[in-house]
Amino acid sequence: MPTPTPAEVIEAQRQDWNRVAAGWDKWDSYFSRNMTFINHRLVADARLQPGLRVLDLGSGTGYPALLAGDVVGSEGSVVGIDLAESMLAVATRKAKALGMQHVTFRTGDVTTLPFDSESFDAVISRFCLMFLPEIPKALKEIIRVLKPGGYVAAAVWSAPEKNPFIRVPMDVIKTITSLPPPDPEAPGVFRLAKPGDLKGMMEGVGLSPLGDEEFTADVTYATAEEFFSSLMDIAAPIQNLFATLTAEQKIEAERGIVKAVNGYRHHHRIVLPIAVRIVAARKPV
Ligand X SMILES: C[S@@+](CC[C@H](N)C(=O)[O-])C[C@H]1O[C@@H](n2cnc3c(N)ncnc32)[C@H](O)[C@@H]1O
Q: Which uninterrupted H or E stretch holds 150?
A: strand 146-157
Compute the C-alpha angle 28/172/272, nearest 5°. 45
Is 13 a binding residue for ligand X by CB under 6 A? The answer is yes
Nearer to ligand X, 25 or 254 (CB): 25
What are the φ/ψ torsions at residue 279 (nearest 5 degrees)? -120, 130
User: Could you tell me if 116 and 12 are in contact, meaning their C-beta atoms sit under 8 angstroms apart?
Assistant: no
Is 128 a binding residue for ligand X by CB under 6 A? The answer is yes
The 20-59 contact track toward ligand X, x by CB under 6 A, reads --------------------------------------xx
Nearer to ligand X, 23 or 58 (CB): 58
Q: How far is the CB of 124 from ligand X (least distance, A)?
A: 9
Q: How far is the CB of 63 from ligand X (least distance, A)?
A: 5
Residues near 48 by beta carbon (within 8 Å), at least 6 away in sequence: 54, 68, 71, 72, 122, 124
Beta-ladder partners of 54: 78, 122
Q: Which uninterrupted H or E stretch holds 149?
A: strand 146-157
Strand 208-221 to strand 269-282: parallel, antiparallel, or no bridges (unpaired)? antiparallel
* Distance in angstroms (rounded) separating the CA atoms of residues 96 and 117: 28
Site for ligand X in 215-274 (CB under 6 A): none
Nearer to ligand X, 93 or 265 (CB): 93
Q: Which uninterrupted H or E stretch holds 225?
A: helix 224-234
Q: How far is the CB of 240 from ligand X (least distance, A)?
A: 13
Give the one residue of 132, 143, 202, 270 binding ligand X; rule: CB under 6 A: 132
Q: How far is the CB of 141 from ligand X (least distance, A)?
A: 10
The 74-113 contact track toward ligand X, x by CB under 6 A, reads -------xxxx--x---------------------xxx--
Strand 77-82 to strand 120-126: parallel, antiparallel, or no bridges (unpaired)? unpaired
Q: How far is the CB of 44 from ligand X (least distance, A)?
A: 16
Only segment of 121-129, 194-202, 255-263, 268-276 that touches ligand X (CB under 6 A) = 121-129
Longest dimension (CA), the chain: 59
Instruction: Specify the 3-state DSSP secondary structure of 32.
Output: helix
Q: How far is the CB of 178 from ligand X (least distance, A)?
A: 26
Q: How far is the CB of 258 from ligand X (least distance, A)?
A: 23
Nearer to ligand X, 110 or 253 (CB): 110
Burial class (CB in 10 A: 0-12, 13-18, 19+), 226: middle
- Closest-by-Cβ residue to ligand X is 60
Nearer to ligand X, 81 or 202 (CB): 81
Instruction: Specify the 3-state DSSP secondary structure of 168.
Output: helix
Going by C-alpha positions, the residue among 114, 68, 119, 156 that lies closest to residue 283 is 119
Residues binding ligand X: number (CB under 6 A): 21
List contacts with ligand X (CB under 6 A). Answer: 10, 13, 17, 58-61, 63, 81-84, 87, 109-111, 126-128, 131-132
